[in-house]
Structure 1
Amino acid sequence: MIPVALALELKQAGLLWRTTMHDFFAIPDRGLDDRVYVLADMMAYTDLVQGWPVVAFHGTAEWALDYIFTTEVIWLPTEEQLREALAGALERAGDEAALELRRVAGGYRCAIGIGGERLAFDEATASEAYGRALLHLLTQPGHDVT
């Protein structure tokens, strides 16, 4: 799982969360920063409140939070979700875009090739390497990752 800080950077850069069952998320700035939540049938689910998407909770025993807007939480995408978002963005960029992940000393290297340029992102985990590459694309003008 990627760190909350990287997930927040991705969110701020424009990565959209299309909620699906079993997605992971964090709730920042409410004394819950070190906890990870999962969308599931029983505890948390997505709903609309006054036309806005929210994460709603089924009577949790720990604290009383009926719902929270998805804009207030931070999605923690899985390795697979990050890889799919990155591959989709590279595919839309065309121009012989390439994606490669390799194990290297100290972690993983995600290499992307786009527009004749090859970039490498070395991180401790494969998820973080994909996340850094995706963040790079999100912050480049003209690249669509949605």
Structure 2
Amino acid sequence: MITVELARDLVEAGVLWEPAAGDRFVIDAELLTGDVFWISDLTVEVRSYGGRSLLGFNGTTEWALDSVTLDQALWLPREDQLRGLLGDRLSAVVRTATGWRVDYATGPGDLHSVQDADLECAYARAVLAL
């Protein structure tokens, strides 16, 4: 899973999130970033209110939270979502002795690499480097 810091960097880089079932997120508040939530049609669902996207908590789960606005949530994209953001710029993924290397292209014949101990973090670093 990518780190909260990388997730913040993705937001600052302009990566947009359209919440959907299966997405992971944290509430970007000091005491809550350690708790990962998943959007599900059963417990956390995306709602729209007054033109804003809300993440609604159903039932009595999650400390009686009702909802949070999208700008209070920090998306933790999965491996497949990060691969999708790289698209056809992804050249290779290589297991190394210390983790993972992601090779990507920024143009014809212009290959670059990033590495991280965690595969999803390596993908996120490649997205940020674009």
TM-score by structure 1 length?
0.82
Give the aligned partner of residue 53 of structure 1. Answer: 53
- What SS is found at the alignment partner of 2:64? coil
Deviations 1:7-66 (A, max 9, x none): 111011111112111110000215211100000122110001111111011133442321
Give me the whole-angstrom Cα distance separating, in 2, the residues matched to 1:50 and 1:18.
17
- What SS is found at the alignment partner of 2:10? helix
Give me the whole-angstrom Cα distance separating, in 1, the residues matched to 2:68 and 2:25.
12
Work out whether 1:127 is the aligned partner of 2:120: yes
Number of matched pairs:
129
Greater shift, 56-65 or 5-14, is seen at 56-65
Greater shift, 128-137 or 22-31, is seen at 22-31
Give the aligned partner of residue 113 of structure 1. Answer: 105
TM-score by structure 2 length?
0.91
Give the aligned partner of residue 77 of structure 1. Answer: 77
Give me the whole-angstrom Cα distance separating, in 2, the residues matched to 1:44 and 1:30.
21
Q: CA deviation at 1:113?
A: 2.0
The structure that is strand-richer by fraction is 2
Give me the whole-angstrom Cα distance separating, in 2, the residues matched to 1:55 and 1:99.
35
Give me the whole-angstrom Cα distance separating, in 2, the residues matched to 1:114 and 1:86.
10
Task: Letter of the 1:75 partner, please give it.
Answer: W
- What SS is found at the alignment partner of 1:32? coil
- What SS is found at the alignment partner of 1:63? helix
Identical-residue share of aligned pairs (%)? 36
Give the aligned partner of residue 94 of structure 1. Answer: none
Give me the whole-angstrom Cα distance separating, in 2, the residues matched to 1:42 and 1:25.
16
Matches within 5 A, 1:26-105: 26-29=26-29, 31-87=31-87, 90=89, 98-105=90-97
Matches within 5 A, 1:8-19: 8-19=8-19
Unaligned runs of at least 5 residues, structure 1: 91-97, 138-146
Work out whether 1:25 is the aligned partner of 2:25: yes
When residues 112 and 71 of structure 1 are mapped into structure 2, their CA distance, relative to the original with a 3 A threshold, is: same
Give the aligned partner of residue 144 of structure 1. Answer: none
